[in-house]
Amino acid sequence: AQKVTQAQTEISVVEKEDVTLDCVYETRDTTYYLFWYKQPPSGELVFLIRRNSFDEQNEISGRYSWNFQKSTSSFNFTITASQVVDSAVYFCALSEKTTSGTYKYIFGTGTRLKVLA
Amino acid sequence: DSGVTQTPKHLITATGQRVTLRCSPRSGDLSVYWYQQSLDQGLQFLIQYYNGEERAKGNILERFSAQQFPDLHSELNLSSLELGDSALYFCASSVDGKGTYEQYFGPGTRLTVT
pLDDT tens profile B18-68: 999 999 999 999 999 999 999 877 889 999 999 999 988 888 999 999 999
Q: What are phi and psi of A84, to 5 degrees?
A: -55, -35
SS3 content of chain B, % helix, strand, coil (to 5): 5, 55, 45
Touching check for A99 and chain B: CB below 8 Å? no
pLDDT at A1: 53
Does residue A57 belong to the interface with chain B, where contact is any CB pair within 8 Å? no
Contact B2 A46 (CB under 8 A): yes
Q: Is the pLDDT of residue A2 over 80?
A: no
Closest approach of B7 to chain A, Cα-based (Å): 14
CB pairs under 8 A between A and B: 54
Q: Rounded distance, CA B61 to CA B64, Å?
A: 5
- Residue A68 is predicted with a pLDDT of 95
What is the spatial order of strands in the sheet that B19-24 belongs to?
B5-7, B19-24, B74-78, B64-68
> Confidence band (pLDDT; 50, 70, 90) for B98?
confident
